[in-house]
Structure 1
Amino acid sequence: MPAQISLEALKVLDAIDRHGSFAAAAEALYRVPSAITYTVQRLEEEHDIKVFEKQGRRMVLTPVGRMLLQHGRQILEATESLAEMAQRMAHGWEAQLTIAINGIFPIELIFPLLRRFQQEQPDIHLALRYETLAGTWDCLHEGRADLVIGAPGLPPEGRSYETLPLPLMPDGAFCYVAAPDHPVCALEQPIKRDALRRFTSVVIPDSSTRLPTLTYGLVESQPRLFVPDFDAKLKAQLAGLGIGYLPRFRAAPYLASGELREIEVELVRSDHSHYVAWHSSNQGRALHWFVDALREHNPYAELLAESLA
């Protein structure tokens, strides 16, 4: 097994390339020039390679040396980042924070908060994900997210959660819609459940993997077209591929333009309560930065409050 290339050797190569000579690299690294020369010679001998070659009066990197430097810098940057992450974690900052958002809500509402956080903590990784229905609680319960926004209903049993309630969604917050040329629009309204069974419903499946799944606004034995998110659901219903509920704030522009038509149906949605939630035991500083920011200004609460107006 060949000897490993040390971080020290990679630092020396980097310094020589950045500063232009062995002597300048020695000064930058607070070493004597002979120590720099010895490190390079040992690297070449241990791996039977040539890292530098003489061109005129200058020592320049060989193709092998250039490859080592290119990949070595990535390793040096990774080790420096690792050390910084370790220091941040030692002071309570997470290496990464994952935020799950209920798919009914526009993800871009959280972007201003992300921007503020990046300005204060630029080295912490952030991950956003969409979840649907019970999948919001499930990803928190199973540790796939640190913070969820818009989890419907009450939290599951078995874990301790902290929550911030969002404003209750009114009865008209969801509207049952179809493209105007869809045959369902020709029926007398309100349309009964049995009549809806004839038409395909566009459905975003519950993303839960462990907790019991939820369904809203579906009729037994109704054909279904499964789509991955609300953007796809909206586009499918605009294309006349099916019918179903949409949040009114998403459907409103298309209702106004006539591209969608609201239908009165004998169905009731009961998912009126939604929460921002996190584990009580999670004391991460990045998590609580976002919790405090959402307490101060919650764009999702504002969106729901506007729907009540």
Structure 2
Amino acid sequence: MPAQISLDALKVLDAIDRHGSFAAAAEALFRVPSAITYTVQKLEEEHRIKVFEKRGRRMVLTPVGRMLLQHGRQILQATESLSEMAQRMAHGWEAQLTIAINALFPVEVIYPLVKRFQQVQPDIHILLRYETLAGTWDCLHDGRADLVIGAPGLPPEGRSYDLLPLPLMTDNAFCYVAAPEHPVCQLEQPVKRESLRRFTSVVIPDSSRRLPALTYGLLESQPRIFVPDTDAKLKAHLAGLGIGFLPRFRAAPYLARGELVEIEVDITRTDHTHHLAWHSSNQGRALHWFIDALREENPFAEMMEQGQALR
């Protein structure tokens, strides 16, 4: 089995290249010049390669040496990051935090919180993802998320969760909409369920993988267009592709400009209380930083109040 290239040898190559000479590298690494020379010679002998060659009075990297340095620096950076990650975890900070957001809400609402967090721990990876309906609980239950914002109703059994109710959905929080040229707008209101079944509904499917799926405002035998998120659903309504419920805060500006029309329908949409949710056993400092920040300020509630004001 061939000898492995040591991290020390890579550090020596990096120091020689950065500081311009063996002597300067030795000074930077607090070693004697002979130790630097020995490390390079050992590397060349063990692997039967030439790392440096003499040009005039200078020693320069060969193509092989340049390749070793390029990839070696990636390895050195990775080991440094690994060490920093281990130190953070030893002090309770996660290497990565995954936050799942109910697809009703635009993810950019929490960007100001993420920006603040970056000032505290800039090296922790933040993964933001959308989930829909029961999919919010499903991803938390299966460990695909550390924190869920806007999980509807009660959590599934089998795990212990901490919950913080969020006043996201108030009375009249949803409106049934269509583009003004859509034929449903010509019908007498409230439009009966039998009449609504004739028209395509725009739907964001439940993202749950294991838990029973939830649906709101759908009728049997109604044709459907499935879209990935609320932005796509809004655009589908604006394009006249279908009808259905939208959060009022998302629809309000378009209703005000006449680009959408609110339809009174013979359907009652009942929504659950929404929660901030996480596993009780998760004591990660990044997780609890976001929990505390969301307790102090609820940007989602502020967004919904602005939507109500536009009515």
TM-score (norm 1): 0.97
The structural deviation recorded for 1:27 is 1.2
Q: Secondary structure at the match of 2:172?
A: helix
> Which amino acid counterpart does residue 191 of structure 2 have in structure 1?
I
Deviations 1:83-122 (A, max 9, x none): 1111111111111010000011111111111111101101
- 1:200–1:222 contact (8 Å) kept in structure 2: yes
Alignment partner, residue 65 of structure 1: 65
| 1:98 aligned counterpart, secondary structure | strand
Question: Separation in 1 of the partners of 2:259 and 2:104?
Answer: 20
Tell me which amino acid in the other structure corresponds to 1:78: A
Deviation at 1:2, TM superposition (A): 3.0
Question: What is the CA distance between 1:30 and its match in structure 2?
Answer: 1.4
Preserved CA contact (<8 Å) 2:252 2:307 = no
1:287 corresponding residue in structure 2: 287
Counterpart in the other structure of 1:87: 87
CA distance in 2, matches of 1:85, 1:151: 30
What is the aligned-residue RMSD (CA, Å)? 1.3
Query: Is 1:297 equivalent to 2:269 in the alignment?
Result: no
> Structure 1 119/77 Cα, relative in aligned 2: closer, same or farther at 3 Å?
same
Q: Percent identity?
A: 83
Task: Supply the AA of the counterpart residue of 1:237.
Answer: H
Q: What amino acid maps onto 1:129 in structure 2? A: R
Q: What's the CA shift for 1:211?
A: 0.9
How far apart are 1:26 and its partner, in Å? 0.9
Query: Which amino acid is 2:31 matched to?
Result: R
Aligned residue pair count: 309
Separation of aligned partners in 2, 1:89 and 1:115: 21
Offset of 1:18 from its aligned partner? 0.7
Report deviation, 1:272.
4.2
Amino acid at match of 2:248: R
Structure 1 pair 168–93 and aligned structure 2 pair: CA distance change class (3 A): closer
The answer (yes or no) to whether the contact 1:15–1:25 under 8 Å persists in 2 is yes
SS in 1 for 2:115: helix
| Equivalent residue number for residue 112 of structure 1 | 112
The question of whether the paired residues in 2 share the 8 Å contact of 1:101 and 1:136 is answered with yes
- Equivalence map 1:140-159=2 (5 Å): 140-159=140-159
C-alpha distance in 1, partners of 2:212/2:180? 35
1:1-309 matches, within 5 Å, as 1-167=1-167, 169-306=169-306
Q: What stretches of structure 1 move > 4 A for 4+ residues in a row?
A: 305-309
SS in structure 2 at match of 1:171: coil
Q: More displaced, 204-213 or 44-53?
A: 44-53
2:19 partner amino acid: H
Q: When the two structures are superposed, what TM-score results if normalisation uses the length of structure 2? A: 0.96
Q: CA deviation at 1:3?
A: 2.4
Q: Could you tell me how far apart the structure 2 residues matched to 1:2 and 1:218 are?
A: 65
How far is 1:192 from its partner? 0.9
Give me the whole-angstrom Cα distance separating, in 1, the residues matched to 2:235 and 2:55.
63
Q: Classify the secondary structure of the residue corresponding to 2:264.
A: coil
Residue type at the aligned position of 2:207: S
> Matches of 2:308 and 2:167 in 1, distance apart?
9
Give structure 2 stretches of 5+ with no counterpart: none
Question: Partners of 2:279 and 2:29 in 1: how far apart?
Answer: 46
CA distance in 1, matches of 2:304, 2:83: 42
Q: 2:250, 2:307 within 8 Å by CA — same for their partners in 1?
A: no
The unaligned stretches of length 5 or more in structure 1 are none
| Contact 1:99-1:145 within 8 A present in 2 as well | yes
In 2: Cα distance, 1:198 partner to 1:171 partner: 28
Instruction: Quickly say closer, same or farther: Cα 1:15–1:168, change in 2 above 3 A.
Output: closer
Do the aligned residues in 1 keep the contact of 2:149 with 2:276 (CA within 8 Å)?
A: yes
* Inter-CA distance 12–104: structure 2 relative to 1 (3 Å threshold): same
Distance in 1 between residues matched to 2:97 and 2:122, nearest whole Å: 12
String of CA shifts for 1:37-74, please: whole Å, max 9, x gaps. Answer: 11111212222222111111111111221121111111
CA separation of 1:286/1:205 partners in 2, compared to 1, >3 Å: closer, same or farther?
Answer: same
Q: Secondary structure at the match of 1:169?
A: coil
Between the aligned partners of 1:240 and 1:90, the Cα distance in structure 2 is 54
Letter in 2 for 1:24: A
